Amino acid sequence: MADQSDEIISRLRGISSDEKSEMGKMKCRIDDQARLIMMLKKRNDEYILANMALDKHSIELERQIEELRDKLEEEERLKDKIEELRKTIEQLKTLNIQWELKEQELNKRFLFENNKYENLQQELSSQYKKIQTLEKLLDESSSQFSNSKPDSTQ
What burial letters (b/e) apply to 115-133, b meaning 16+ CB within 10 Å?
eeeeeeeeeeeeeeeeeee
Residue 113 pLDDT > 60, yes or no?
yes
Residue 28 pLDDT > 80, yes or no?
yes
pTM above 0.75, yes or no: no
Determine the Cα–Cα distance for residues 95 and 61; give it in Å rounded to an integer: 50
- pLDDT tens by residue, 56-108: 999 999 999 999 999 999 999 999 999 999 999 999 999 999 999 999 999 99
Determine the Cα–Cα distance for residues 80 and 74; give it in Å rounded to an integer: 10
Determine the Cα–Cα distance for residues 5 and 35; give it in Å rounded to an integer: 9
What angle in degrees, to the nearest 10, is found between the helix axes of 2-13 and 22-153?
140
- For residues 8 and 35, is the Cβ–Cβ distance under 8 A? yes
Residue 13 pLDDT > 70, yes or no?
no
